[in-house]
Each structure stands twice: as structure tokens, then as C-alpha cells.
Amino acid sequence: MGVGLSSLALLMGLVSLPACGDDNKAGKDRSSKKKDAKSDDEEKDAKKEEGEAKPASAKPEKGDEGEPKEAKAEGAADVEGDAKGEVDSGPAPCGELNEVPAIPDTDSKPPTVEEWGKACKINTQGPNSHPDDCEMKVMREWLLVTCRGDYYKTQNMESFGAVGVDYFEMIKPNKLISYTMKLTKGRNQKIRMCHTKNKRASLFVSWPTGEDKPLHVALARGPACD
């Protein structure tokens, strides 16, 4: 017979040929799986690159109780230290302006500029009679009297002692008049500082021998000098 074995098997139904459509479908499934695998790999690579590019967030420092502790900027003031008195709080507070502080029984050198910056202001004269542009400060047994502006001369100086020892003066007419003077028990010290506008500043210090400090350290506004 002219029919071959393969043809005979086909006729008998022993061998079945795959459909053309099934071959195409299988090919598509394999291609889709490859694409899915490739997409997964690309996604993993992208996440890895993103993780490397993103800086790790700093963990907050823990305090004593486990709570996050706020970072302190460099050079920031130690407010807590100030509140506890762990830093220098400066000179002791001064008393009232019209209150003469205790004067030590010393023979010290005149205060430095830094010391005058910490000195207490003083004037036992009533506040309504204070002269314009003048102030006084006391440090130990020394008194600093300063008037600024159009003060141009002085007159009627009494009981100041020796210049360069008991007192020091600086006179710049129409700018500044300043005296650094030693407060001395038993002396009543006076001076007038004359202003161009028909007025003056008059200093009066009274320290009786039996007192432990001056009774008056007064700088008052007055009429024009003689």
C-alpha cells in the first residue's frame, strides 16, 4: 500500500498535530514572562539606586528620659546656665539713686574704665533739680562727676586736695568737664561747672567726721556762673 506509517498513525488518531493558534499563544506567554521578569529586575534596580541616592536621616539624640533632644546651635547662649547662676551675672545691683553706698576705709588707686562701667550712679539732690547732661558714679572711695555739652569752665573749687593725687580733671570747653575725686571724711567738697546757656551744675559733698559715709553727694542745677 502507498500509505506511509506516519499517515497511517494520523488516520488512526494515534498522533495529534498541534494547532497553529496554540503555537502562537505559547510563544506569547513565554515572551510575556520574559518581559515581566525584566520589569521586576528594572524596578529592583531603580529602588536600589533611589536608596543609595537618598541620604540616611539622622536619628535624634536621646535625652535622659529617652525623648528626642533638640540640637544646640554652635555659639548659642546657655540659657539654662544663666538661670542657674552658673555664669557671671555682673556687679551687684545698686541701691536707690539718692542713697549713698558704704564707703570703704581704703586708700586705693582711681578706678579703671572697666570698673567705672560697673559703678553705681548717685545723686542725693532731688530729681527735679538734676542738671542737664550730667551724671555721677561712685566706686569705692572715688567719685566720678561728668557733664557733657556746652559746659566751658569751672569756678569756686573747695577742699578737693592735691591735683593728681586727690583728684583728676578733664576739661574740654563746650564738650566735656569731668572730675575723678576722692571722697574724704571731714571734707566738704564743692565746685561749679558753668554752662553757656545761663546755667550751671553745682557739686556739693558733705562728709562729717563722725559719719561712716557722706551725708550728701549732690549735683544740682543752678543759675549762671558769676
- pLDDT confidence bin for 117, thresholds 50/70/90: very high
**In whole angstroms, what is the distance from residue 26 CA to residue 29 CA?**
5
Long-range interactions of 9-17: CB distance < 8 A, separation 24+ = none
| The three three-digit cell numbers of residue 128, written as one number | 527735679
| The three three-digit cell numbers of residue 2, written as one number | 502507498
| The three three-digit cell numbers of residue 93, written as one number | 545691683
- pLDDT confidence bin for 40, thresholds 50/70/90: low
Average of per-residue pLDDT across 201-211? 96
Whether the pLDDT of residue 208 is over 60: the answer is yes
**Helices H / strands E in the chain, number of each:** 4, 11
